[in-house]
Structure 1
Amino acid sequence: MTALHFGARGVHCKKTDTSAGKADPNRLDLPANWNVKRLRLTLGIICAVALALTVVAYMRESVLAITKDPATVIVWLVGIAVCLVYSKRRNPIPLAAEHTALPLIFVALLITGYYSDLLALLVIIITVEACIKARSMLVGMLHACSELALLLLIRPLFQDDPRMLSLIVNPHTQYTWFSPYSVRHWIIPFAIMMVAAPCIRLACDLIIFLSAGLPLRKAIREYSLSRILGSTIADLLTIIWVPELIRFTHTADDPASTLSMFLLAICLYSLVLLAFDILSRLTRSRTALTSLALVTDALPLPNVHPEQTVARRINRAQKRLRCFISDSRDLDRPRRAYRYSQRIDNGSQHFYIAFERGPWNRPFLPIDMEVLQTAGELLTEALRVNNEVSTLRTESETDALTGALTYQAFLTHLESLQTENVHNHVAIIYLEVEHLRELNTQYGRKIGNAALRCVADRLQNVRPPQSALYRVNGDEFALIVTDEPSHEDIEQLAMTMRKAAGEPMITAMGEVSLSTSASMSFSNEITGYTSLLSDARAHVAAEISMDEVIETGTGDISKTLRKAIESGNITVLYRPIFNLDTRSIDSLSTVIRVHDEHGHTFNPHFVLDEARKLDISAKLTRAALDICAEDMERFREIAPQLTTVGLCLNGGETNRSGFTDHIKELCARYPHLHFCL
């Protein structure tokens, strides 16, 4: 598609590919079958011919005026050029006509009788200055022709008759400004001109827009009613006092002096408008910088809806426009004009930062587009950084084995809830996988890890949507529920979780039974999250400290075990073996338990292995055999059929001569007992 771009350097055309979704939403597109050369040729010829005919028609009078009084004419032309320095856009489209002081200059030439003398030179100045401002000959000639079209209205209203000036400033009228002469020949014609001039400019713009193939509805929405109305009122309030100024300076009898006075007043008026326009632009620029400063102050942007944060910050500074986030770049609200940033991608979501201005707050300035572009770039970069940080945080806070969050993330979440103080109704469910160590010992660590993954997956499937699952210990999980749960709901959820996690698991080594236990912790309105944090730290710290006692400090553990065995802190647990043939218990199997002085029970497998390493396995077995023999005698008082007891050895003690002698001694002392080693 061929697109017509409106930039600081005028109108230029460019081939664009809108099918890829990269078309600029802030430009007006030409029809696909439009020829840009045809546009330039048609409009250029019409404007050039109109301007050339005007210059040729009035050049003879202009040459005579210069020949007659060249110094005065040059001063007038300089004054006209100064007046044309001021121009104000009513529409950001460069093809649209601008507000200038030319209608006032036309009126001054008409009522002083110098219209025919200076029109050719005035057309040349208008064309040159318009082309310089627009940085385009085409746009400059269009603006010049639009201004000359005002003569079709101004000339019938203010006849080319110097006597009009004497009627307006009639010295015999007591109240000159309200005299019939002033009202009829000055106030009413000028009021008509001020109302009709914007209409004529609009008609010229519509003709140009139609010729250029621009969408009229979108182009008309770009007009600023406040600027049109404000400039019209300013022109009217300024020019109606000029007759009083002329009457006060007694220059009404000299048309040349009157024209000089007119041009001086218009020059001052144009410079005042120019200064006001510059101050207005500076104010807009300051507001734009303030909005960008507010956006940068918000960095780093929050992870949740950062685009809304940018929009709120801009709206805080930009009082005369509305900034919002739009999923579309083709908004079509009545009497509203829009500008959009570049497309911002956030994963699968796409949106734009949009500016909206009403008819009284237009037009858009280039500084608005700079704010949009900069805010869009800041938001894009912030989203990229947030995504990368979230990815890294997720990786660092996620347990690699189970996919649940880590214990550190668990504490961070609780602390953040305490800081935000969202509400005090929070519950934590702790769920422990029981006998995980035995599972690892019996089936291997690979099956133990699979069991943890299976439990985590099951808990993820049954947890509420507003909750988070954490692995707070090797065999323990925790669930934080923040959606104001009741105690009954939490108890029911804990039962559901325990039932789901405790279902048997099928592995490559067969079926594996899983058992879990659950506990709960609640916040309250008095202590808030303090109790939760204390329970979390104490609950997990107890498990960690126990693990550290068993898994680290092996030197101290070995000494403690030796001391416990030598001190006789040994107990034996019995498991009955039922004989189906006799329907009775005829033997017992045993598990040796060793306790330290603090009452801690060592793992049975650890006791056997470590006793062998410490070369005290024979002593341990002899002590266990003595306990078994004494206990069997007491058991036989209740069940006389009991004669056999089994004891698990590690094999190292059988080579000891003292151990064999002790076995023979026991057999001789208890001949009715059978010891299965």
Structure 2
Amino acid sequence: MSDSLPGWSEIRSDSAPAERLVRRAFFWPVVSVAVLILVAGVFSFSRVSSVDVFYFVALFVSSALVADFRFQIGRLAGLPSVSTSIALLVTAELHNELFPSVAAWALGFFVGALFNSRRLVAAAYASGIATIGAVIWCLVVREFDKLGFSPVLYLYLATFAYLLLVLVLEFARAKGRWSARRDFGLSSLSPRRLLVILLVVGTMALAIHFSYTTLIPTVLQEAQTHRAAVLLLAIAAVLFMLARFQQLRDLQRRLKGLTDAALGLPWKHEHGLGEILIEWARQTIMSDRLEIAAEPPGFAQIGYPVRLAPGDSSYIVATRELNGIPFNREDERALEALAHLATEAAKVTEDMAGLLLRANSDSLTGLPNYNAFRAALIKANDNRAYAAAIAVLFIDIDRFKQLNDRRGHHVGDVMLTTVADRLRDSARPHDVVARVGGDEFVVILTELHSLEEGKELAESLIRSTEAPLVVEETELRPVLSVGLAYSAHRETDANQLVVDADRSMLAVKKSRREGGPAAESTINISPHRSARINDIVADAIGKDELTLVYQPIVNMLENRIWAFEALVRYTDPELGAISPGALVERAKSLGLMDVLTRQVMAKAMTAARAIQLIEPSIATMTVNLEVGQITDDHVGLFAKDLARRYPSVSLCLELNERSLRYVTDDLRRQSQELRDAGILIALDDYGSENSSVGSLVRIPMDIIKLDRSLIDDLDDYRQREVVKALQGFSDSTDYLTIVEGIESAEAAEILVSVGVRNAQGYFYGKPETYEQVVKRIAQYGATAQVP
């Protein structure tokens, strides 16, 4: 099946009445002409001698056996197919009667087509076109033979005429829609396949002619007609075996498709179960069109019911045109199995969704529970832009325990559900409201621009929530204590926001106990945390307290380490470990990025020299920076000085692909100067986010590092082909390619099989301290994969 076919969601059955009209307009004339030819052939049998009966029976049987050995003429399964059995008619030139030979051959073709397709209409139409083509084929052979032309010429010419007739009739019936997207055109017609069919059929006919006229008489001494019959049956038997072999390969393809679907359908349908079902069906059966339809299969179709969603009643339907290779029973069973698998996968998905909903929801209010809230907070923190702000509101209902004790839990439940509904209705669509305890709620405010905006939104929520409500003819009014923790930048530990908001809320309650306002809701804002982390990062850089860890870069073919990548780390005594991303972002905002980079480069090259003294073959150290930093007024001069101080160690500067979007001529010149000084330039994280081919040529460089996102599913052949293509590009341009994110032996084996030689990832070693690296090298040397 061609990859260029439209997806199932693009295919509709709106044109079915018009298509049926076109089918009828071609079906009846073609079948009628074929029937007339068959009638003429049957009447001609009265003039056939009894000696020739054996030949016509052999021709009938041979045609039936070979009818299923067919070739597609295009890239779409529904484009017409051509049976090789036309070559059997080369023996008809021995007889003066044309129609008996064609009739015997056509009847055999019809029987074979009917047996293989089990569809009378499809077999009749295919036999009709084949019969008309057979007459043309025989006439060309006979007339050119009479004129004394060589069989080499007229057999290929007859085959060409036969193909031309099939093409013209089918092109007209399809209204010229032979393009990949089913509109007018010929893009799906394969000239190469046509040429192959012409050569195969013509050569087969020539071989039969040669065998009959040259070889057979020396082996068999029977009558001429009997020799032709024996030859036909022998050739038909060979072709029949080839057809069975072809069917065996189709069966293997179906089995693989069903196996892959059984493994993939229950889990891999993030783009929609219907689309993944169509994708697996394309790999399993050959068809002209696959669709999820509301109606059961009809003319020239097979299909089975499938339920992809609750209350859904659909069918997966496969279509082949009249003169295409017909569906067989194996195709039907494969499609039935796929439909069953998809239905069961939908049930599993529904059950899992129900379980996840119950596991992550509060049973009373329907709001997300504490676990779901924590996941949402981490997601909101990690996925925001560096300068985007969020806020956490920690909300507590005052005197709720007294309400439960005095009026009963059912009144308390009404209070909780009312507060939950009001918070949910008042929050913005992208905010998160959750219940995290008995009378405690949290709200995550996202996409904020300032603390003032967060405070205004919180006040609006509280105003909407504290309105009175009537329960059992008694008016109650929720009084809320609210703590607000605001974060202007991405946090290293998002849970700290909850702690700060909770502390601020408790401060409100403490204030009430100490005589503060008790009859109105109050919001207390936590001190701004970003300034504290900025001070910590600035102090650590100022005191040169940053530490480094090193991850090996290996040659997979030689199983040896040849380089290390230096990665920055810092752990604050109070806050704990600050993530590298947050550390770098804070350094940027403080204007200390060049200072940080120089410190990392100096420590990394010192470590590299010490490692080289232990293992001389490891002589490369890579450091991350942005392209704008390579100029002399940033870290360029410092890098050149390091290269002169450590001539035996190769310093490699990894430039993040995102920073290459705006490269100037001056930056290109600076990059080339660094290379001239013996420094390697690498393109880091290629393939992440919106990578472009332009990144590969924007700046002079030596190494391309492929991001782990390009190999997160190596079972997908498209990923393997992308990596293979990038490796081929690197080889042809004399770049060195390193694939990041290798975490298993299986991934390593697959990458080696597509030509990758250099890699980096946890499979070969996690980032380790200098002391740990030295211990590893002392014990195992440069061996890439160790116990």
- Give TM-score scaled by structure 1 length: 0.53
2: CA distance between counterparts of 1:430 and 1:445?
A: 23
Pairwise mapping of residues 507-518 of structure 1 onto structure 2 (< 5 A)?
507-518=471-482
The one-character-per-residue Cα deviations of 1:282-322 (angstroms, maximum 9, x if unpaired) are 33433333333333323543786541672586289569889
Pairwise mapping of residues 287-326 of structure 1 onto structure 2 (< 5 A)?
287-298=253-264, 300-301=266-267, 305-307=271-273, 310-311=276-277, 314=280, 317=283
Equivalent residue, structure 2, for 1:550: none
Q: For the Cα contact (< 8 Å) 1:225–1:359, is it kept in 2?
A: no
Counterpart amino acid of residue 396 in structure 2: E
Equivalent residue, structure 1, for 2:337: 374
- Does residue 460 of structure 1 match 2:447? no
Counterpart amino acid of residue 470 in structure 1: A
2: CA distance between counterparts of 1:315 and 1:139?
A: 22
Equivalent residue, structure 2, for 1:58: 45
Equivalent residue, structure 1, for 2:61: 81
Q: For the Cα contact (< 8 Å) 1:471–1:478, is it kept in 2?
A: yes
The one-character-per-residue Cα deviations of 1:103-130 (angstroms, maximum 9, x if unpaired) are 3333322157686896776677666666
The one-character-per-residue Cα deviations of 1:452-502 (angstroms, maximum 9, x if unpaired) are 232222211121213332221222101245668765544433333233323
2: CA distance between counterparts of 1:32 and 1:322?
A: 16
Equivalent residue, structure 1, for 2:394: 430
2: CA distance between counterparts of 1:302 and 1:479?
A: 32
2: CA distance between counterparts of 1:509 and 1:315?
A: 63
The one-character-per-residue Cα deviations of 1:66-93 (angstroms, maximum 9, x if unpaired) are 5xxxxxx64784476235411136799x
- 1:446, distance to aligned residue in structure 2 (A): 4.9
Counterpart amino acid of residue 462 in structure 1: S
Change (3 A) 1:539 1:149: same
Q: For the Cα contact (< 8 Å) 2:373–2:434, is it kept in 1?
A: yes
How many residues align structurally?
481
- Does residue 386 of structure 1 match 2:319? no
Unmatched 5+ residue regions in structure 1?
A: 1-23, 67-72, 169-180, 210-214, 331-336, 547-571, 576-677
Counterpart amino acid of residue 407 in structure 1: Y
Equivalent residue, structure 2, for 1:285: 251
Unmatched 5+ residue regions in structure 2?
A: 1-11, 517-787
SS at 1:470 equivalent: strand
The one-character-per-residue Cα deviations of 1:514-556 (angstroms, maximum 9, x if unpaired) are 32122245676463445468779x989x99xx9xxxxxxxxxx
Counterpart amino acid of residue 90 in structure 2: V
The one-character-per-residue Cα deviations of 1:236-273 (angstroms, maximum 9, x if unpaired) are 23334566666764969x99888777767766665555
- Does residue 192 of structure 1 match 2:157? yes
1: CA distance between counterparts of 2:367 and 2:119?
A: 65
The one-character-per-residue Cα deviations of 1:354-399 (angstroms, maximum 9, x if unpaired) are 7799999987666555554433333333333433443454356443
2: CA distance between counterparts of 1:355 and 1:140?
A: 18
1: CA distance between counterparts of 2:316 and 2:448?
A: 36
- 1:347, distance to aligned residue in structure 2 (A): 4.7
Identity percentage of aligned residues: 18
Equivalent residue, structure 1, for 2:202: 236
Which one of 87, 101, 111 corresponds to residue 104 of structure 1? Answer: 87
Q: For the Cα contact (< 8 Å) 1:44–1:138, is it kept in 2?
A: no
Pairwise mapping of residues 252-651 of structure 1 onto structure 2 (< 5 A)?
270=236, 273-298=239-264, 300-301=266-267, 305-307=271-273, 310-311=276-277, 314=280, 317=283, 342=305, 344=307, 346-347=309-310, 370-395=333-358, 397-411=360-374, 417=379, 422=383, 427-440=391-404, 445-481=409-445, 487-521=451-485, 525=490, 527-529=492-494, 531=496
Q: For the Cα contact (< 8 Å) 1:428–1:480, is it kept in 2?
A: yes
Change (3 A) 1:192 1:447: same
2: CA distance between counterparts of 1:28 and 1:539?
A: 68
2: CA distance between counterparts of 1:312 and 1:154?
A: 40
Q: For the Cα contact (< 8 Å) 1:55–1:119, is it kept in 2?
A: no
1: CA distance between counterparts of 2:321 and 2:125?
A: 27
2: CA distance between counterparts of 1:520 and 1:431?
A: 9
2: CA distance between counterparts of 1:247 and 1:109?
A: 13
Counterpart amino acid of residue 85 in structure 1: L
Counterpart amino acid of residue 480 in structure 2: T
Counterpart amino acid of residue 423 in structure 2: L
- Give TM-score scaled by structure 2 length: 0.46
Q: For the Cα contact (< 8 Å) 1:300–1:382, is it kept in 2?
A: yes
Change (3 A) 1:108 1:469: same
- 1:197, distance to aligned residue in structure 2 (A): 1.7
Counterpart amino acid of residue 65 in structure 2: V
Counterpart amino acid of residue 190 in structure 1: L
Moved more, 508-517 or 347-356: 347-356
